[in-house]
Amino acid sequence: MDGLDLIKTFREVAFRRSFSRAAISLGMSKATVSRYVAELETRSGVRLLNRSTRSLSLTDAGQVLLDRSTELVTMAENTLNDLQGHGAHPRGRLRMSAPNGLIAGWMSDVIAEFIKLYPDVYVSLVFTNGEVDLIGEGIDIHLTGGRIDDMNLIVRRLVKFDMVVCASPAYWAQRGIPQVPEDMARHDVLSYSAMPTTHLPFETGGKQHEVPVHSRMEANDAVALIELALRGVGAVYVPEPLAQSHLERGALVPVLREYMPRDHDHWLYAAYSQRRHNSAAMRAMLDFLEQSKELLGEPPTLPPASAVSQTTCALSRAQGVARATASASRTDKPPRQSR
């Protein structure tokens, strides 16, 4: 084993704060990862990690090595990537980061198709809703649905997407289907913290406006909100690709489509460092993501408004029967009203 392999293994353990998770990411056994780190500590003559049964942390020496090894590992990977880039076939490891919810829906299809198409590329995905240090964490490509203003990064627009307001059929049956944007003011909204939590944007007669809404809760993960919406907790205003599978099978019903802002700027962006050379694998992934619009296909076929209304009426009638039955079976007396 060479020193670079030892350092790269140590860095993976340091970033993940776990030998087990580092082993999975590196495709190695936990015992091998532990042996590599122990060998690096023996060669350096210092302890690099504080280990306990419940936690793992860096020593002062370990932090110094982590900080100073970044340039070394980056240079080595860039050199290897350059050599691989001369080949026509993408190969090697490609490390990507993305928000937690981004793997849902169509993105799963995109990644799956890429892996099938390029079997010699090993894709390592890191999911986080926080800020990412691409150089420090060795990230080749960072995907995000928000704008990136870091001048040290190259940003590439990939796929444009729409937003959608939706909820479960049971929720609409109980609370009523909004006919105009202003009707959303009487609904419970599960808010995505990346967007305003008290107002939702709409467009009426070609003019954009915002409607104040009642937010029951917020989260920084749109998929978590979608899961709650599926359980009838409230309505969500989320990127449509994340909810597409639920929309297609009718588990979520969209509303107010004709009022969604048309002059919007919702894009999936890819960011990568100017200091990281474009390997064949990296270029292939960027091109594949940019062409992934074809994988999205046409918007999902959704039930017409009449079908939604029929479902709503049926659910409402069922709820009415249940209330009447419960009322008829009661034996307690209503409270006496004061005069």
Lowest mean pLDDT among 28-32, 75-79, 124-128, 146-150: 146-150
Q: Are the beta carbons of 272 and 77 closer than 8 angstroms?
A: no
DSSP 286-304: HHHHHTTHHHH-SPPP---
Whether 23 has a pLDDT exceeding 60, the answer reads: yes
160-180 mean pLDDT: 93
* pLDDT, position 293: 60
Q: Mark out the alpha helices in 45-168 (DSSP H runs).
A: 60-85, 106-117
Say yes or no to pLDDT of 325 above 80.
no
Q: Is 206 left (phi over 0), alpha (psi -120 to 50) or beta?
A: left
**What mean pLDDT, rounded, does the chain reach?**
79
Lowest mean pLDDT among 43-52, 88-97, 192-201: 192-201
Cα(247)–Cα(106) distance, rounded to whole angstroms? 13
Sign, Cα dihedral of 84, 87, 93, 98 = positive
Q: Higher model confidence: residue 194 or residue 254? A: 254
Classified as helix, coil or strand, 318 is helix
pLDDT for the residue numbered 328: 37
- CA–CA separation, 96 vs 279, rounded Å? 13
| Dist. CA 126–CA 99, nearest whole Å | 8
pLDDT of residue 302: 37
What is the structure's pLDDT at 303? 40
Q: What are phi and psi of 151, to 5 degrees?
A: -70, -15
- Helix (H) or strand (E) segment spanning residue 88: none
| 100-147 pLDDT, tens digit each | 767 666 677 888 889 999 999 999 888 877 777 787 788 889 988 766
Report pLDDT for 54: 79
- Give the mean model confidence (pLDDT) for residues 47-54: 87
Strand partners, 188: 214
Q: What pLDDT shows up at residue 315? A: 42
Helix (H) / strand (E) element for 232: namely none
- Name the DSSP letter for residue 68: H
Q: How far is CA 100 from the centre of its chain?
A: 3
Percent of the chain with pLDDT over 90: 33
138/135 Cα distance (integer angstroms): 5
Q: Provide the pLDDT for residue 26.
A: 86
Give me the pLDDT at residue 319, please. Answer: 39
Q: Which residue has the higher pLDDT, 274 or 65?
A: 65
Tokens of 13: 């353990």
Q: Which of these, 17, 54, 13, lies nearest to 34 by C-alpha position?
A: 13
- Report pLDDT for 276: 56
Q: pLDDT band at residue 149, thresholds of 50, 70 and 90?
A: low
Residue with structure tokens 């936690």? Answer: 55
Amino acid identity, position 84: Q
The pLDDT, as a whole number, for residue 209 is 92
pLDDT above 80: residue 61: yes
Q: Is 240 left (phi over 0), alpha (psi -120 to 50) or beta?
A: alpha
Distance (Å, rounded) from C-alpha 26 to C-alpha 37?
Answer: 13
8 Å CB contact between 270 and 143? yes
- The span from the CA of 47 to the CA of 40, in Å, is 9
Number of H helices, E strands in the chain: 11, 14
What does the DSSP 8-state code read for residue 1?
-
Q: Is the pLDDT of residue 177 over 50?
A: yes
| pTM listed for this prediction | 0.57
Q: What is the pLDDT of residue 228?
A: 95
Beta strands 199-204 and 235-239: pairing type? unpaired
Residue 335 has pLDDT above 80, yes or no: no
Round to whole Å and give the CA distance between 165 and 194: 15
The residue ranking higher by pLDDT, 45 or 278, is 45
Q: What is the pLDDT of residues 249-271, one digit of tens each?
A: 999 999 999 999 876 667 888 88
Other C-beta atoms closer than 10 Å to the C-beta of 34 total 18
Which pLDDT score, from 0 to 100, does residue 268 have? 82
Work out the number of other CB atoms within 10 angstroms of the CB of residue 130.
7
CB neighbourhood size of 79 (10 A): 11
What is the arithmetic mean of pLDDT over 292-302?
48
- The pLDDT, as a whole number, for residue 153 is 83
**pLDDT score of 190:** 93
Phi, psi torsion values for 96, nearest 5 degrees: -130, 150
What residues pair up with 211 in beta bridges, in sequence order? Answer: 200
